[in-house]
Amino acid sequence: MNRLFGNKKSNTSNFDLDDKLFDNSEASINTTIKDLNLKLHNLEQQIAVNTKQYKQNQKNTFLKKKLLNLLKQKNTLTNQLMQYENSLMNIQQQKLSNINVKTNLNIINNMQQQVKQFKQFNKANKNVFNADSIYDLKDELEDMMEQTNEINEILNMGNGENDIDEDELNEELEYLMQENNSTAMNSSNGAYLETLGVIDVNDNQIEPEFINDSDLISEQPNDVVAE
C-alpha cells in the first residue's frame, strides 16, 4: 500500500496541492471562457450591422471582405470556446476523481486500523474468544443444569407432594363446610336466646326469677280491686 500511495503525510500534502492546481486551472479557464463569450457577443453585433449594410450595397467589396473576416473570427472564437469548455469539463471530472480517490484511501485506512485493532483484541483475548472453548463452556453449563435438576428431583423424593389423594381433599372440604354450617346455626340460636334473656353474652344460662302474687298485687294501682 505504501508503495502505491506513499505514507499518510505525503498523501495529504499531495492531495492538497492537487486540489489547489485544479481550483486554479478551473478559475483560469472560467475567466477565459467569460472573455471569449464577451468577444463573441461583440463580434456578433458587428456582423449584424455589417450584414445589414452589405444587403443594402452588395457591390461593395470592402464590406464583403470585412463581413467575411468577422465571420472567420467568429468561427475561431467559437472553436476556442468549445475547447476551453471541454477542458473545463475534463478538469472538473479529474477533480471529482481526485475526491473519490481520497475518499477511498480514507476508507482503506480506516479498514486497516479496524483490522489491526481487531487482531490485537483477539490476540489479547485468544483464550476467551475461541470457538472450541466456547463450545466447552456451553457443554459445561448444560451438564451443570442437568445435575441441578437431578439433585432437585432427589431432594423432593419422599416428601409426599405427589401422594395427595383428591378424594381425601374433597372429604376434608365437605367436613369444613358442615362444621361452618353448625357454627352458624349455634351462633344464630345463641343470639335468639340472648334476646329472650335466657343466656347472657358469654353463653351462660340465666336463672329465671320467680315473682310472687303479692308483689304483683302490691304493684297494682289503688283503684284496681283485687278479685
Question: Do 120 and 191 belong to one domain?
Answer: no
Containing domain of residue 111, as a range?
2-124
Q: Write out the H or E segment, with its range, that includes residue 227.
A: none
91 close to 29: Cβ distance less than 8 angstroms: yes
Identify the pLDDT of residue 63.
83
pLDDT, one tens digit for every residue, the chain (227 residues): 444 444 544 444 444 546 777 788 888 888 998 998 998 899 889 888 888 888 888 888 888 888 888 888 889 989 999 998 998 898 888 888 888 888 899 999 999 999 999 888 888 877 777 777 788 888 888 988 988 888 888 887 655 555 567 777 778 778 787 876 666 566 555 555 555 555 555 556 555 554 455 554 454 555 544 44
The residue with cell 480514507 is 106
30 close to 88: Cβ distance less than 8 angstroms: yes
Give the count of domains, the chain. Answer: 2
The residue with cell 471562457 is 33
In a domain, 138, yes or no: no
Give the end of a domain, one of 124, 142, 164.
124
In a domain, 227, yes or no: no
In a domain, 89, yes or no: yes
In a domain, 156, yes or no: no
Identify the pLDDT of residue 113.
93
Identify the pLDDT of residue 226.
43
Give the end of a domain, one of 124, 140, 162.
124
In a domain, 169, yes or no: no
DSSP 157-202: TTS-TT---HHHHHHHHHHHHHHHHHHHHHHHHHHHHHHHTSB-TT
Give the rounded percent of residues in the chain with a pLDDT score beyond 70.
67
Q: What is the pLDDT of residues 178-198, one digit of tens each?
A: 876 666 566 555 555 555 555
Question: Do 115 and 182 belong to one domain?
Answer: no
In a domain, 14, yes or no: yes
In a domain, 137, yes or no: no
Question: Do 11 and 118 belong to one domain?
Answer: yes
Give the end of a domain, one of 103, 124, 145.
124
DSSP assignment, residue 154? H
In our burial notation (b when 16+ CB lie closer than 10 A, e otherwise), range 148-174 reads eeeeeeeeeeeeeeeeeeeeeeeeeee
Phi, psi of 205 (to 5 degrees): -75, 135
Question: Do 119 and 195 belong to one domain?
Answer: no
Question: Do 192 and 116 belong to one domain?
Answer: no
